[in-house]
């Protein structure tokens, strides 16, 4: 009886004071998906979710990684028609289809056969010329792949190679955000390879989450081009300023963005694209598409899509650096 009374008194004291344990800044860092990650989340008391976080990375890799031979996507790419894909694969497939259609084919996961041929994927690099490119384009086109009602993949042609790497990283962050939500966490900033999801704010400092965008013209030296506030949104960037290959014989530079229309690597006046959306998979996909599209087409598409905000750095006809920002993006920029 005395124990019950003491317990009730303890509850009464907590309810009267209204005090909760102080917020703790938890941060987990590591490597996954071929890159690094940093996950910050605020809780009442220390909480370590490393095991659950590792499980998310493992599950995504098992479904979508083209670098793991035993993954579902690798089996499908080798011609296994019996693979029944999971919900993650289905999610990414359906969103990819939407972005493929809205960008008129400039976002295309079947570009993987070209990614490998140009030396940017896990497959075999080959000598490329216009004849070879034309032949490989026969295997490019996301409308040539169907996800059946039985959750198996039907390809129009065997050599078609799926590559979701331009959306999988963003999707993984969305899965990590879902994990945080199921834990009841209301304030977090999750980053994987530069892609971000922010929820709430930094309640410990009573300030919004502040994130940065790299300057694409600084080469190997990292310097921020912009900083901005991010709350309850996701952000992803794409650019050709770090990921490229130089031919050892000719010295020619090949950037990693490939135009699925022409089959060639895309050297354009667009240096970098950053997109803010309601989820990171969508932001990731559109940032990639804007790098493959001509600048005018990208800007035209942005005017018709109210659920996206974007920042594009490009060179004008005189070679001078210029910037484009949607009004919603500009409102988030930290004024100096």
User: Does 52 map to a domain?
Assistant: yes
pLDDT confidence of residue 266: 65
Residue 10 lies in a domain: no
| CA gap 223, 216 in Å, rounded | 9
pLDDT at position 267 is 65
Sign of the CA dihedral with 298 first, then 303, 308, and 311 last: positive
What pLDDT is recorded for position 228?
96
- Three-state helix/strand/coil letters over the chain: CHHHHHHHHHHHHHHHHCCCCCEEEEEEEEEECCEEEEEEEEEECCCCCHHHHHHHHHHHHHHHCCCCCCCHHHHHHCCCCCCCCCHHHHHHHHHHHHHHHHCCCCCCHHHHHHHHHCCCCCCCCCCCCHHHHHHHHHHCCHHHEEECCCCCEEECCCCCCCCCHHHHHHHHHHHHHHHHHHCCCCCEEEEECCEEEEECCECCCCECEEEEEECCCCCCCCCEEEEEEECCEEEEEEECCCCEEECCCCCCEEECCECCCCCCECCCCEEEEEEEECCHHHHHHHHHHHHHCCHHHHHHHHHHCCCCEEEEEEECCCCCEEEEECHHHHHHECCC
Q: Give this prediction's pTM.
A: 0.86
Distances (CA, A) of 7 to 3, 4, 18: 6, 5, 16
How many domains is the chain built from? 1
Q: At what angle do helices 280-292 and 165-182 cross, to 10 degrees?
A: 160
Range of the domain at 183: 23-332
Nearest-angstrom CA–CA distance, 286 and 99: 7
Residue 15: inside a domain, yes or no?
A: no
Residue 168 lies in a domain: yes
Give the whole-angstrom CA distance, residue 284 versus residue 193: 11
pLDDT of residue 240: 64
Closest residue by Cα to residue 179 from 81, 56, 296: 56
Considering only CA atoms, which of 289, 261, 263, 258 is closest in space to residue 274? 289
Exposure letters 243-277 (e unless 16+ CB within 10 A, then b)? eeeeeeeeeeebbbbbbbbebebbebebbbbbbbb
Per-residue pLDDT, 253: 42
Q: Is residue 17 part of a domain?
A: no
pLDDT at 260: 86
Confirm whether 9 is domain-assigned: no
The one-digit pLDDT tens for each residue of the chain (336 residues) are: 444 443 433 444 444 445 567 899 999 999 999 999 999 999 999 999 999 999 999 999 999 999 999 999 999 999 999 999 999 999 999 999 999 999 999 999 999 888 888 777 777 777 777 888 888 899 999 999 999 999 999 999 999 999 999 999 999 999 999 999 999 999 999 999 999 999 999 999 999 999 999 887 665 667 888 999 999 999 999 886 544 444 455 544 444 578 888 888 766 678 899 999 999 999 999 999 999 888 999 999 999 998 999 999 988 888 788 999 999 999 999 987
CA distance 161 to 120: 14
The closest alpha carbon to 118, from 286, 252, 298, 293, belongs to: 252
Structural domain includes residue 88: yes
CATH assignment at residue 196: 3.10.520.10
């Amino acid at each position: 009886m005395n124990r019950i009374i003491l317990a009730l008194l303890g509850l009464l004291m907590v309810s009267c004071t209204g005090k909760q344990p102080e917020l703790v800044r938890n941060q987990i860092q590591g490597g996954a998906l071929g890159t690094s990650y940093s996950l910050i989340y605020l809780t009442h008391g220390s909480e370590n979710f490393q095991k659950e976080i590792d499980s998310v990375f493992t599950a995504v890799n098992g479904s979508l990684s083209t670098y793991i031979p035993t993954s579902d996507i690798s089996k499908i790419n080798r011609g296994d028609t019996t693979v029944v894909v999971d919900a993650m694969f289905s999610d990414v497939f359906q969103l990819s289809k939407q972005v493929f259609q809205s960008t008129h084919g400039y976002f295309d996961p079947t570009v993987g056969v070209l990614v490998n041929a140009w030396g940017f994927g896990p497959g075999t690099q080959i000598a490329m010329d216009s004849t070879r490119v034309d032949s490989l384009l026969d295997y490019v086109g996301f409308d040539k792949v169907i996800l059946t009602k039985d959750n198996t993949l039907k390809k129009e042609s065997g050599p078609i190679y799926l590559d979701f790497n331009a959306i999988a990283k963003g999707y993984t962050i969305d899965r990590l955000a879902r994990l945080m939500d199921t834990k009841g966490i209301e304030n977090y900033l999750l980053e994987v390879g530069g892609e971000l999801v922010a929820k709430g704010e930094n309640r410990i400092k009573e300030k919004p989450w502040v994130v940065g965008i790299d300057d694409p013209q600084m080469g190997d030296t990292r310097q921020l081009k912009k900083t901005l506030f991010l709350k309850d949104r996701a952000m992803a960037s794409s650019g050709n300023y770090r990921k490229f290959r130089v031919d050892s014989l000719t010295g020619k530079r090949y950037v990693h963005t490939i135009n699925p229309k022409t089959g060639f690597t895309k050297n354009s006046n667009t240096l970098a694209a950053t997109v803010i959306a309601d989820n990171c998979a969508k932001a990731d996909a559109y940032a990639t598409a804007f790098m493959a599209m001509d600048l005018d087409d990208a800007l035209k598409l942005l005017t018709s899509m109210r659920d996206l905000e974007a920042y594009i750095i490009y060179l004008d006809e005189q070679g001078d650096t210029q910037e484009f920002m949607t009004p919603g993006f500009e409102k988030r920029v930290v004024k100096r």
